[in-house]
Structure 1
Amino acid sequence: MSESFKQVPQSPMTQSGIGRVIPCKKLEAGDPVKWLVLGWRDLARAPALTAFYGLIFAAIPWFITYLVTLTGWHLVILPSIVCFMLIGPFLAAGLYDISWELEKGHKPSLWHSIKAVKRNAVNEWGFGILLAVLMIFWLRVASLIHALYPPYLEENLQNLLPFLALGTVIGAGFTLLVFFISAFTQPVLMERRVDLATAVLTSMHAVWINKVPMLIWAAIIATSVGIGFITGFAGFIILMPLIGYATWHGYIDTIEVKRGRHYE
């Protein structure tokens, strides 16, 4: 094992009362910042692999935007986003594998990270499909809210405000649901090879009992996504791998793992 890692006593575990939920630890408000620091260390130790996955994460939204600009056909957005939701977990699995290999003192490789999706392939696909279904549902709801806007009203802030408020509230609730479901599901599936229901319930339980630190983590992710869009997707080259590496350390910090370990 690398000298950067050592065995440490496990933090107290919190049981959920649900048999299929893996126990998790109580977090401190500053823990998400620590995950970023550890994620940055992984990024610096695997720059070539980081660039490979980062370019993919940046290329996908750029390609969607390019298709819309080229064709003027906004209907390509839905299938494109659905495809991204399906392959996103597999890209994240590669990043988690890199951090995992560094944790074990191994030299990560592209092929090894690509093969990470085979560890729990059925449930990984199930997770991707679940995210895609949720995304389709949200887009349908957003379309319904848009359809409710009376065409005879003038488009000013006063008239638009009720619909903007409704969309914001529903969108925030939907985003929160997705965050609960997906915060740690992928790392659980990778390391534990459990079924999808166990991984999802574990993720939801971990977020629920760590509301403040996980809210901070959600804000960090949202800020990173915002920076990525502001920079014309170039920011995703660094930020998405960083979030992926940090998520793995968040998983190690939060969910009971097979063996006690700590990354310094």
Structure 2
Amino acid sequence: MSDHFKITPHNAISDSDIARVIPCKKLTMNDPIRWLALALKDASREPGLTLFFGLIFAAIPWLIIELVQLTGWHLVIMPAIVCFMLIGPFLAACMYDVSWELEKNHEPTLRHCVKTLKRNALNEWGLGILLMILMIFWLRVASLIHALYPQYMDANFINLLPFLAVGTLVGAVFTLLVFFVSAFTQPILMERKVDLATALLTNMNAIWTNKGPMMLWAFIIMLAVLIGFATWFVGFIFLMPLIGYATWHGYIGTIETKRERHYE
């Protein structure tokens, strides 16, 4: 390893020309469940803001579907998803702020949530653009897989199975990639006010160090999304704020802080 990229104890990279890596803790398989329990507590303490943000998360996919049905133009999905990938991190930051304020025994307000968006806006926009690029690339690969389907074949399950399998595999790879770069990146940017590279490397290091618990957390997020779609987005009203609050507690429980922090 070069002299410009030395790894010090406790998973911290202190001598790098690129970025620093904030040390992480060692998690157990019970930790993601504990994050959800703390998230439920936050939701019960702040039902108004929880419902407000939940309705926004449910409205976004519903509006996309309505636009497609009204216009008959399926390409509207692309710009809609791009816009969501850009504003998504800022919407998530509002939910993190609710948990952060509750942790400090403050009363969360919508005004304070909005003010939080200005803490590290430049790097948060950078994260949004990075996620947008990944999403566009994902959509282009999906279009390519669809284009490879022979038009002369009957659209039955047996004929579609190979393409469904390939599409599912590619989607899973991209989903893991997005998770690998964004699981705790946004909370790090919001609280630490560090650069994007530091937040990304810190997030990747935390996931790599805690593969089992973090894969369980990824499965919980995926399950929440599937339930949301299965309930025609109604499930998002409760599940998305819950995932947002739990992500904040996951960040606090995973990334080392200067002083010990507890919220029980």
What's the TM-score, normalizing by structure 1?
0.92
Q: CA shift at 1:15, angstroms?
A: 3.8
Distance 1:145 1:16, change over 3 A: farther
Find the counterpart in structure 1 of residue 177 from structure 2. 177
Once the two structures are superposed, what CA deviation does each residue of 1:52-86 show, in whole Å capped at 9, x if it has no partner? 11111111001001111112111110100111111
Find the counterpart in structure 2 of residue 195 from structure 1. 195
Once the two structures are superposed, what CA deviation does each residue of 1:73-101 show, in whole Å capped at 9, x if it has no partner? 11110100111111110011000011101
1:120-159 equivalence runs, <5 A: 120-159=120-159
Find the counterpart in structure 2 of residue 25 from structure 1. 25
Find the counterpart in structure 1 of residue 43 from structure 2. 43
Distance 1:141 1:230 in 2: 25
Tell me the C-alpha RMSD between the 2 structures.
1.4
Please say if residues 11 and 21 of structure 2, whose CA atoms lie closer than 8 Å, have aligned partners that are also in contact.
no
Once the two structures are superposed, what CA deviation does each residue of 1:100-148 show, in whole Å capped at 9, x if it has no partner? 0111111111100111110000001111111111100000000001111
Identity of aligned residues (%): 70
User: SS where residue 199 of structure 2 aligns?
Assistant: helix
Find the counterpart in structure 2 of residue 3 from structure 1. none
Given residue 70 of structure 2, which amino acid in structure 1 is its aligned partner? L
Find the counterpart in structure 1 of residue 208 from structure 2. 208
Distance 2:245 2:58 in 1: 17
User: SS where residue 62 of structure 1 aligns?
Assistant: helix
Find the counterpart in structure 1 of residue 85 from structure 2. 85
Please say if residues 57 and 237 of structure 1, whose CA atoms lie closer than 8 Å, have aligned partners that are also in contact.
yes
Q: CA shift at 1:18, angstroms?
A: 7.6
Q: Which runs of 5+ in 2 are unaligned?
A: 1-8
Q: CA shift at 1:17, angstroms?
A: 8.0
- 1:161 matched to 2:161? The reply is yes
Given residue 74 of structure 2, which amino acid in structure 1 is its aligned partner? H
Distance 1:170 1:95 in 2: 30
Q: CA shift at 1:37, angstroms?
A: 0.3
Q: CA shift at 1:25, angstroms?
A: 0.7
Please say if residues 55 and 237 of structure 1, whose CA atoms lie closer than 8 Å, have aligned partners that are also in contact.
yes
Distance 1:146 1:208 in 2: 33
Please say if residues 13 and 256 of structure 1, whose CA atoms lie closer than 8 Å, have aligned partners that are also in contact.
no
Distance 2:153 2:160 in 1: 9
Find the counterpart in structure 2 of residue 5 from structure 1. none
Distance 2:258 2:99 in 1: 16
User: SS where residue 117 of structure 2 aligns?
Assistant: helix
| Structure 1: 4+ residue segments shifted above 4 A | 16-19
Find the counterpart in structure 2 of residue 112 from structure 1. 112
Once the two structures are superposed, what CA deviation does each residue of 1:216-250 show, in whole Å capped at 9, x if it has no partner? 11111111111111112111111100100000000
Find the counterpart in structure 2 of residue 52 from structure 1. 52
Find the counterpart in structure 1 of residue 226 from structure 2. 226
Find the counterpart in structure 1 of residue 5 from structure 2. none
Aligned length: 253
Q: CA shift at 1:149, angstroms?
A: 1.0
Q: CA shift at 1:13, angstroms?
A: 4.2
Find the counterpart in structure 1 of residue 102 from structure 2. 102
Q: CA shift at 1:157, angstroms?
A: 2.6
Q: CA shift at 1:198, angstroms?
A: 0.8
Distance 2:221 2:251 in 1: 15
Once the two structures are superposed, what CA deviation does each residue of 1:157-203 show, in whole Å capped at 9, x if it has no partner? 33222222211111111110000001000000011101111111111
Distance 1:161 1:91 in 2: 37
Distance 1:164 1:156 in 2: 11
Find the counterpart in structure 2 of residue 245 from structure 1. 245
User: SS where residue 108 of structure 1 aligns?
Assistant: coil
What's the TM-score, normalizing by structure 2?
0.92
